[in-house]
Amino acid sequence: MKIQRITVKKNERALLFRNGDFDRLLRPGKHWVFNGIDTWAVETFALERPAFVHPLADYFMAKEPALVAEEFVRVELSETQVGLRTENGVLVEVLAPSTRGLYWKGQVDVGVEVIDIAESAEVPAALTSRLLQSPARVRPVAGLAGVHQVQVPEHGAGVLWIDGVIDRMLAPGTYAFWKFNRDVAVAVVEMRLQVLEITGQEILTRDKVSLRLNLSATWRFQDVLKAFKQLAKPADILYRECQFGLRSAVGTRTLDELLENKSVIDDVVSAHVRSRLEPHGIEVDGVGVKDIVLPGEMRTILAQVVEAEKAAEANAIRRREETAATRSLLNTAKVMEGSPVALRMKELETLERIAERIDKISVFGGLDQVLNGLVTLR
């Protein structure tokens, strides 16, 4: 028969097993057992890790209440309770409902705060800040998979769903909700003016001309809860209604009508979209066509039409100017016919214009010959 010494350190606890069955718990110090017909085994636990994860945990809680009360912090949560486990006053874990477990007493001060979540899914504001994960945090909080955290920006709003039913709208801020025993979802929406682009819409006009149009719409949520209760996907429905309005505006008009009044498309689409969506909490600020692209052969034809129109306008202007010039010459001739002095002044004016183009003039016979010899008056 031999004597076996077992040493347990001050920061340890040990479980002693006799022939594979639990015998007793060993506290710090030296312990002696006799190795005879019995077989002894020891399992040592460091108190720096307070969680007691062992098959004997349920046995201790059921059959060893005195041992549990002296050596462990006992946790038993119902189906509607969560636990906030702290170590030395620092939150380290969120315990799910129905959790049962033991934590060693001694080196680490373990505390468990029990919260009933049956009445409300929202995490209290004071607790929300503790649950937020900061990059500077030395040890992350475990068990946050059961907490839904959401941050609503300043110019936004949040739509809260609980078990598939819209509960309420969330103002800007930080929120957390318990996901245990319920399905929680939050959709964050933008409350500022938004832009929706509708591109590449090919539509036939009434006279069978194919047009490619690009449309832009600006909109915002007027009543978020009404929009989400009545519309499955508000932005998708706005896109579809813009398409319908565009087809109604283009398909019922000829190409010439659209080219003569380009704003008619904007007016028709805006009126259609507003009438369809404003009753559902969507405010349409404006709708406008960005581009109208014609087929290649139609662009060539229109270019020729424009060229012919401009050429006709140029001819009309030229004829008007020629008529005005002829009428002016006729009036001048009538004046000179009855006034020799006016005719003489016209001669001198003509002579002046001729002289401007000549570098050198040689005069023979005197100045009178130049003045009187150029034109003979009858």
pLDDT recorded at residue 371: 58
Interatomic CA distance for residues 22 and 360, integer angstroms: 139
pTM: 0.67
Q: Residue 346 above 80 pLDDT?
A: no
Q: Residue 362 above 90 pLDDT?
A: no
Interatomic CA distance for residues 316 and 23, integer angstroms: 120
The secondary structure element, H or E, covering residue 71 is helix 65-71
| Beta bridge partners of residue 150, listed in sequence order | 175
Q: Residue 314 above 90 pLDDT?
A: no
Q: Residue 355 above 90 pLDDT?
A: no
Mean of the pLDDT values across residues 136-158?
A: 87
- Which of the residue ranges 4-18, 119-133, 155-169 would you say has the lowest mean pLDDT? 119-133
Q: Residue 295 above 70 pLDDT?
A: no
Mean of the pLDDT values across residues 253-269?
A: 85
Give which of 118, 119, 101 is closest to 110, Cα–Cα.
101
pLDDT digits (tens, 9 = 90+) for 11-46: 999 999 999 999 999 999 998 888 778 888 999 999
Mean of the pLDDT values across residues 120-124?
A: 90
At 64 the three-state DSSP class reads coil
pLDDT digits (tens, 9 = 90+) for 197-244: 998 888 888 888 888 889 999 999 999 999 988 988 888 999 999 999
Interatomic CA distance for residues 17 and 40, integer angstroms: 6
pLDDT grade for 137, boundaries at 50, 70 and 90: low
Instruction: Give the mean pLDDT of the chain.
Output: 85
Per-residue DSSP letter, 142: B
pLDDT grade for 129, boundaries at 50, 70 and 90: confident
Q: What are phi and psi of 25, to 5 degrees?
A: -95, 135
pLDDT digits (tens, 9 = 90+) for 315-344: 788 888 878 878 877 777 777 677 777 667
Residue 114's identity, in one-letter code, is: V
DSSP 297-338: HHHHHHHHHHHHHHHHHHHHHHHHHHHHHHHHHHHHHHHHHT
Residues 6+ apart with CB under 8 A from 7: 29, 30, 31
